[in-house]
Chains A and B, each alone.
Chain A
Amino acid sequence: MNSVGGAILDARIGWLILGLFSLFWVFLGWWWGRKAKRLDEYMLAGRNVGMALAVATAMATWVTSNTTMAAPQLAFQLGVWGMIGYSLGSVGLLLFAPLARRIRILMPGGYTSGDFVRLRYGKLAWRVFLGISLFYAFGWLISLGMAGGVLVHALTGIPYQLGMTVILGICVIYTLLGGLRAVIGTDFVQTLIILIGIVALAWLAIDRVGFPALHESVRAERPELLNLLMPAALMFLFNNLLFGIGEIFHSNVWWSRAFAFRDGVGFRAYLTAGLMWVPIPIVAGFIALAAPALNLNVPAADMVGPLVAAQLAGVAGAVLVFIVVFAALASSLDSLLAATADLITQDIYRGHLRPDADDDQLRNAARIAILVLGVGTWLLCLPRLTTLAELLYFTGAFVASTIWPIAAGLYWRRANATGAVLGMLCGTGVGLYSYFAMGFYVAALAGAGVSMAIVVLSSWLWPGNFDWARLREPERTVLS
């Protein structure tokens, strides 16, 4: 077995790519964000985003390092079902399409997912939801920051801490400069880079190795990867489906876009983005199956994508995968920074600390929140504690427990605060137990199941009769 121990690219090439793309993203962020003077323009891109940018931002945000790096990792660990299971993440985008339309109708002046939970279920549910949402946001931010450091180190030899710092720092700077306008604008460019890049990488694997040789090597050395009845992989498939739905239904990343897209765009944009997202994990993950044919020794599963690309096309392959993953990382990091900062600004700062804050104060608070999130993520990323997939799926128990409180709360008058609170708490508890007792691939499954049972049972036993008009109330003062 060959071992790719040292760096594939010269560190100077790594710095050159980092420098050029960093300048590019910061310039675009400044350019698109320079007119974002009002709070709505900074936090929600003026609530007027058209179809092209809407589709691209939904796709780019959902194509994260967790797709471009963890999809190969999962293909390497769980085989074909790893890729297909990951592509079921698109179901979350598809199912969110009708929700986005309803959110925009019910809350035309809303800012965050926290606004909805507060107005729909009250303060206790709101605080439980904020805890889950912020924990998830940090989990995702850390997995993205770690992915940046891992990628830069694997490809260029630049120390993990240094690479992670640069990538995180650049995203913080341009998000700070331009708010959601900068995020959505850069997302379009990043989507094109990702789509073209992953097709080029897959084509390299087909061209250099070929399907027959690749298939034969996998069948000889890792036959379980082609097994369609691999139990862990099947569990993963359903788990990933629910995890994806939970992530999208609750996260302010997606809610803020529902508020930001112009009238009538949300449904079509999320539907189109979901359909176009389906093949991406398959194309991105496929190259990992070339590892046995290349006799590649993979020291850490989350490095399999970059290592295979470098083995296939040397420096050019490594440069390509570097640019693709950098774009994927940036497109998600910026979105998450902006949306989580909105949640902190609207639900923590205005909701709990300064109910009478004016728009200028809120805009400044949003900027400070972006900066604090960046620094917090940086500190938590410094020690590389776990692999990308493990960290990501740890949050699965939390987010899956929010699916039913959110969906039932949007469509069902009978859904009530007791069911929402108990559903989130018990779903998270059972999901975490499953995570430690059985494995990462069942946490979301258990969390969603328990939460569903509680929300449905509670709505049946103690039916509410919610007045949808209450979601439109311009409620500024929260704590009295």
Chain B
Amino acid sequence: MTMSLVWLSALVGIAILITLASTVVLLGLLIRDWKKRTLW
């Protein structure tokens, strides 16, 4: 396994995980703002 394969896999893997976490964060913020009536 070459270094370039390792860092390419790591880079893309971490990017995918952060993107998924962002989705959860956005939904969490939406629910919080909805409950506090601070959407708009």
Contact = CB atoms under 8 A, between A and B. Distances in A.
Interface of A: 45-46, 48-53, 55-56, 59, 80, 84, 181, 188, 191-192, 195-196, 198-199, 202-203, 206, 211-212, 215, 219, 226, 262, 272, 276, 278-280, 282-283, 286, 289
B33 A226 contact: no
Given A56-B26, A192-B23, A279-B19, A51 B11 contact: no
A151 B20 CA distance: 25
A215 B39 contact: no
B40 A51 contact: no
Interface residues of B, number: 27
Contact of A280 (B12, B19, B27, B30): B19
Contact of B40 (A50, A56, A199, A289): A50
A52 B33 contact: yes
A211 B4 CA distance: 11
A60 to B, nearest CB: 10
Given A195-B19, A196-B23, A212-B5, A262 B38 contact: yes
10 tightest CB-CB pairs across the interface, nearest first?
Answer: A279-B15, A52-B29, A276-B22, A282-B15, A50-B38, A52-B30, A50-B33, A279-B18, A215-B5, A52-B33
A59 B18 CA distance: 14
A37 to B, nearest CB: 14
Nearest to A45: B40
Interface of B: 1-2, 4-5, 8-9, 11-12, 14-16, 18-20, 22-23, 25-27, 29-30, 32-34, 38-40
A226 B30 contact: no
B21 to A, nearest CB: 8
Given A191-B26, A206-B12, A215-B8, 12 more contacts: A51-B33, A52-B33, A55-B29, A84-B11, A215-B9, A276-B19, A276-B25, A278-B15, A278-B18, A279-B14, A282-B15, A283-B16
A55 B16 CA distance: 19
Given A52-B26, A55-B26, A215-B8, A276 B39 contact: no
Contacts of A55: 25-26, 29
B40 A181 contact: yes
Nearest to A262: B38
A211 B23 contact: no
B12 A226 contact: no
